Every structure is written in C-alpha cells, then in structure tokens.
Structure 1
Amino acid sequence: MADNVAFGVAYDGTPPARGAARPRVAVLGASGFAGALAARLVHRHPYFALGEITARAEAGMRLDELYPHHRVPIALTEPDLDRIGSTHDVAIVGYPHGASSEAVAAMHAQGLVVVDLSADFRLRDPATYREWYGDVHVAPELFGTAVYGLPELHREALAGVREGGRIIAMPGCFPTATILGLAPLARAGLLQDVIVDAKTGVSGAGRKLARTTHYVDVSENVHAYGVAGHRHQPEIRQELGALGMGESVQPVFVPHLVPVDQGELISAYVRATRPVTADEVADLFREAYEGEPFVELTTAEPGMRDVQASNVARIRTTVDPRSGHVLVFATIDNLWKGTSSQAVQALNAAFGRPEDEGLTG
C-alpha cells in the first residue's frame, strides 16, 4: 500500500490499535456517498487513523474500486459491531435514519465516540421524532444525550464529548445552511416570519436514489418536494428556537431538486420584528462569524460552485428596501459541509484539534 502523504503526514496505511496516540476511526456504511467521503477524509487526516470501513452488499470490494476518485485503497468489510467496538476509538455511522440508532447505541455502549450522520439523534424530543420519522428508533433512552454537531454553534459542548462519552449527532445538510444563515438573526430576536427556499443537487437523495433517478427526470428540470412538511423542518425549528426564535415563529421550508451533482443553496426571506438596515444585519453576521474558519461572508450572491468540495459555508445578506425583508443566501456543498467534512470538523473539536485540520490544503 502506498504511503499516505496527504497534508504532509506519511504512514504506511496500517491503523494503530485502539487507545494509541492516533485515534482509530471506523466508518460504518462506507459504500454510501457520505460514508465514502468520510472515509476519504479520515484516511488523509494527519491525526486520526482510518480503521475498518464497512458495507454489506459491497463487502470485499476496495473503496477505490467503488469510488476511484476518493483514492482509499482499503477493503470494505461486513460490519461486526463487537469487533469494531473493541478495536476502535471512534465510529462514524453513515446509515439511514432508523437503521442507524442500533449501531450508534452499540458503539456508544462500548465507550466509543460516535458520530451519527443520520437523523436518529438530532431531535431532542422523542414525540417529535416519531411524528416525523415513525416509531423506528431502538434507543429512545439516548434521546437528548447527543451533542448537535454544528461547531459554529456548539463548539463548547463538542469539546466535552470525548470525556463525557456522548454522541455527536450531525446536522442535516439543509439545516446546516439554514441555521448558519439565520442564527445571528434568531439570536438578536429579529425573526418574526421566515420562508426558506432551498435548492439541492441529486446526491442529496443518497446513493441508492441518486443512481435510480432517471436522467430525463432531472436534466433541464427543477421541482419542489416535501412541500407538506420536510423532515428537516423540526430540526431547524429546534435549533433556531434554542437561539431565541419565538415559539410562535414557524419557518416555512420548501426544498427543490436541481440538476447538479452536489451542492446546496438556501434563500431565506425574513420579516423582522422591527425595521433593520442592511448595514445593521451585516454587522450582526460579522460579529457572529468573525474568526470562523469555514464561514465566508460575501457581498456577492453566492453560488454552489463557490464552495464545491469544501467545508465552507458562504453567506450573503441584504435588506430589500421596498418590503423591508431581510434576505439571506447561504450555500454549502451538501456532501462536505452538509455532511462528511463537517463530521470531521466536529471530531477535530471533540479531540481538541484545530478545526481545519485535515480539511484544508
């Protein structure tokens, strides 16, 4: 196996044992879009060491056969939770909601830091989870114990994950862009009425659906979905509510599928609780995100290509002079900042590493 020299660190690809100086990270569900990218980022990371990467149908294949562009020359294995739990320090779980909670609970019980990419631990209220996802959660006793893995908002809580043995529940891609785009306004008590128009690429549907979606349905076409209530809506409501958005505010959220591989853009239209100027709003965002390594504030309208294959959220704000609405535009790469690279950023924070370690260069 060729040496891994990404980011200036060379090693022979053999991960150390559990408890060694470089924490050993397993990726469960590494055949999916998010899991495969997570494996790539950990494989190239100068601090974490990639251990087992698992899949069921593709077990025995090397990941670089399934995804050549990720360049991870490691074979996928059948998931064995007992073996993984006894030989790893961290587990990144890339299963769909419902299927994830069992594996997360098992890894958590064995003392691993667990990063869940699904929705199974994002919501703090079991009744809300049942309303939106059904009664498929096998570890309801763990509700409310996870740290929401948005470092820009929960950095201090993430820093205690390693000692406290808590789960990191990674945000959904839509909530990541939406919450980052609206957090400064929520914190200032300015959200009176919110409409969020979101656009996402085909990869947001996951590998299975993306590969079975007919080309002619997507090409030269844009359509809304989840208009009766998208599952990310209560997550957005939960996090913005915790920042100070009033109970009476119910954001309208409508996603649209656009004919691109990956990327995401939200356009938020906010009726503020009082008149504000564009300069006042800009100052709020500068204060909120000053020094953040992965939030870029811009005076130009952001586009998906601006942040492709990066952990960056790019945000633009203004105020419509006629209606007085605050307009917020935020773009991320749904597979990177919206999922896998943000998981590595959260792991960096949990282990006291620089948050940009392994994510730049």
Structure 2
Amino acid sequence: MPDGPKVSVFGASGYAGALAAALLQRHPRFELAALTSRSDVGRRLDDLYPRHRVPLAMEELDLDRHGDVDAAIVAYPHHAAAPVVAQLRERGVRVIDLSADFRLRDVATYEQWYGEHAAPELIDGAVYGLPELGYRGRIADAGVVANPGCFPTAALLGLAPLARAGLIGDVVIDAKSGVSGAGRAATEKTHFVTVDENVNAYGIAGHRHTPEIEQELALLGARLQVTFVPHLVPLDQGELISAYVTPTRATSDEAVRDLYADAYADEQFVELTRRSPGVRDVRETNIARIATQVDARTGRILVFAAIDNLWKGTSSQAVQNLNLMFGFEEGLGIA
C-alpha cells in the first residue's frame, strides 16, 4: 500500500464512486483509506462490483472515524453532497465533489435549477475541475474542486478553442450518452427493453447541465444561450457530443484545425482526429477525442467530442484533479 496522502471515497456504491475507488486502489501514490455507502453498508466493493477488485467493505459515514484523511472524493447526489463537503472542510480535508453542488458560481442560478443550496458559503472558494480550461493553478491550491458534469466536459473541451477565438455566434449541442450516466439508482430501475435498440431525447425543456455549459463558455468569451439536448443510447458507458456552431465570421477547415492544434498542443488527455470519433476510441481512458469540420455549404463549424462518461466525464478526471492538488504528475494512475 502506498505511503502517501490518504483519500476516502464517500458514496462508493454508485458507478462513479466505485470507479474512483478502483483507480485510487491501484494508484502508486495515494492510499485508499475507507469507503462509505448509504445503501450497501457492510458489503465489500469487490462483491458489488467484482471487476473493480477493491477488497474493502463499505461503511456508514462517520466523520469522527472517516474524516481523518488528507482528501475525499464525495460521490453523492446534489443536495446530499454539500453538507458533507462543508463538514469535511471544517476538518481541513480537501474535497473533490462529483455532484453539481459547487459547479455553478451563482447561488441564484443553482437554486433555479436544483433548489435551495445547503452550503452556499463554500461556492466562492470552489474551483471548477476541468484542468484543460486553464484551471490547473487554482485546482492545485483548492480546498474544494467541483468535478464537472460529463456532458459539460465533452461540450466544453469541444468548444473552448472556438469560444476563446470569438467564433461562436450560436451553437446547438446534440449529446448522446450511455445509460450509466443516469447513475446506479436510475439504471437499476430501468428495464433493459426500454433502452435496447432504442434512442430517445430527454431533458428537452432544459437539462441541468445547460447553465454549467453556458457559465464556462461565457468565461471563455462566448456569452450566449445554448441549445443542449441529450439523448440516451443503448450503451453502458460512453458519450459523444455533436456541436453545430454558427460562426461569427467565415473561416476554413485549416484555420479551425490550426486553432485546435494550438489550443491542445500540450494536453496529454486531448486527442485531435480528422475523422469523427467514436466512444470505443476512448473507452476506459481519461481522453477526450475531438474532430472538427467546416461545412462549406452552410458555413457552420461542426465539432465532435467523445469521452468515457465514467472516466474523463467523472472518476478519472477526479483523480486527475487529485494529482494536481497534491503535486503529482497529472496523469499518474490514469494514463
């Protein structure tokens, strides 16, 4: 077992928490200290998820016992996460929060989409956990890192170079995700035949990831309302966004590709390709694979970005952020 910073995973029985525990279990520097669960107390994680090979039992959360760690990954739903994050910060524990509770910078916006916030005093100090958007320095010093949503991760990595260049006049984001993106509780209630050989849109009236995408695009220089429509596809994991951008000025394939090449030249977890990426290309990796094309007929810029929603979209990105917080090489344990 590594003799390094101790990290616990709170909410380890869900898909994201379980994968985070597995990545920490085999990480060369972090020590996986404890696992907690609200639904599977006493059960070993390798019994619940044999493929993860984590031979630790999940316990009921008791911060007097579980709060003596250097960091924690909190894998609770929104509303449930914020009070736990607040208590951990009172004890000096550094936190990666996988919920939406600290992603939005404006309390009123959060409450419009999610309801009353349980720890609004922590929002100003929380750092958005997408290193490739320029947050690395702040993540390294952060007490709370708000791990991005999976859809915003793919959408923002796909659109960031265009936003910085002032090229986004309007954008429609068509997103497709495997069923694991809904979480364990939701997928266990969904019968196989409702998703097999089927594709459907959801969250059409306004998906909760919309304000997160708009917030970060605005910070990059593109202040606009986006049309964002996610679709559920019959995969267990994987995510592809197709973004259709009406540009503010005419541009070319070559100019756009050069823009992306410059933006991501030093990013080990962003791959650029000339063909449309597929979810198999990035399965069980921390990589975002991106392609662009200018439609000569309409002038629109087409952007395609594929990630694994449980890895770069959630758990391996959390470990990427933990590495930054403790001064380790960014890809340690996930590359």
TM-score normalised by L of structure 2: 0.98
Fraction of identical pairs, as percent? 62
Q: Which residue of 2 aligns with 1:210?
A: 187
C-alpha distance in 2 between matches for 1:339 and 1:120: 15
Is residue 238 from structure 1 mapped to residue 215 from structure 2 by the alignment? yes
Q: Which residue of 2 aligns with 1:353?
A: 328
Q: Which residue of 1 aligns with 2:88?
A: 107
Aligned-partner SS, 1:230: coil
C-alpha distance in 1 between matches for 2:152 and 2:39: 30
| Aligned AA (1:66) | L
| Aligned AA (1:69) | R
1:56-111, Cα deviation, whole Å (9 max, x unpaired) = 221111100000000000111111123222x2000100000011001011101110
| Aligned AA (2:210) | Q
Q: Which residue of 2 aligns with 1:68?
A: 50
C-alpha distance in 1 between matches for 2:254 and 2:124: 38
C-alpha distance in 1 between matches for 2:279 and 2:124: 33
User: Which consecutive residues of structure 1, in runs of 5 or more, have no partner in the other structure?
Assistant: 1-10, 16-20
* Counterpart among 65, 76, 79 of residue 83 in structure 1: 65
Q: Which residue of 2 aligns with 1:92?
A: 73
1:308-323 alignment, distance < 5 Å: 308-323=283-298
TM-aligned CA deviation for residue 284 of structure 1: 0.8
Is residue 219 from structure 1 mapped to residue 177 from structure 2 by the alignment? no
Aligned-partner SS, 2:12: coil
* Counterpart among 315, 318, 321 of residue 340 in structure 1: 315
Is residue 263 from structure 1 mapped to residue 244 from structure 2 by the alignment? no
Does the Cα contact within 8 Å between 1:192 and 1:273 map onto a contact in 2? yes
TM-aligned CA deviation for residue 145 of structure 1: 1.4
Is residue 193 from structure 1 mapped to residue 170 from structure 2 by the alignment? yes
C-alpha distance in 2 between matches for 1:48 and 1:144: 28
Aligned-partner SS, 2:162: helix
TM-aligned CA deviation for residue 212 of structure 1: 1.1
* Counterpart among 95, 107, 122 of residue 142 in structure 1: 122
Aligned-partner SS, 1:261: coil
TM-aligned CA deviation for residue 125 of structure 1: 0.3
TM-aligned CA deviation for residue 211 of structure 1: 1.1
C-alpha distance in 2 between matches for 1:143 and 1:291: 30
Does the Cα contact within 8 Å between 1:123 and 1:144 map onto a contact in 2? no
C-alpha distance in 2 between matches for 1:265 and 1:300: 13
C-alpha distance in 1 between matches for 2:295 and 2:18: 42
1:95-130, Cα deviation, whole Å (9 max, x unpaired) = 000110010111011101100000000000000000
C-alpha distance in 1 between matches for 2:230 and 2:213: 13
* Counterpart among 41, 49, 56 of residue 59 in structure 1: 41
Aligned-partner SS, 1:168: strand
Does the Cα contact within 8 Å between 1:202 and 1:257 map onto a contact in 2? yes
C-alpha distance in 1 between matches for 2:246 and 2:147: 29
C-alpha distance in 2 between matches for 1:195 and 1:237: 12
User: Which consecutive residues of structure 2, in runs of 5 or more, have no partner in the other structure?
Assistant: none
Is residue 39 from structure 1 mapped to residue 15 from structure 2 by the alignment? no
TM-aligned CA deviation for residue 27 of structure 1: 0.2
- Greater alpha carbon shift after TM alignment, 169-178 vs 105-114: 105-114
1:240-291, Cα deviation, whole Å (9 max, x unpaired) = 1001013xx2110000000000000000000000001011110111111012
TM-aligned CA deviation for residue 323 of structure 1: 0.2
* Counterpart among 29, 38, 46 of residue 11 in structure 2: 29
1:127-165, Cα deviation, whole Å (9 max, x unpaired) = 000000012x2111112210100011111111222xxxx
| Aligned AA (2:234) | P
C-alpha distance in 1 between matches for 2:47 and 2:304: 37
Aligned-partner SS, 1:51: strand
TM-score normalised by L of structure 1: 0.91
C-alpha distance in 2 between matches for 1:307 and 1:333: 6
TM-aligned CA deviation for residue 48 of structure 1: 0.6
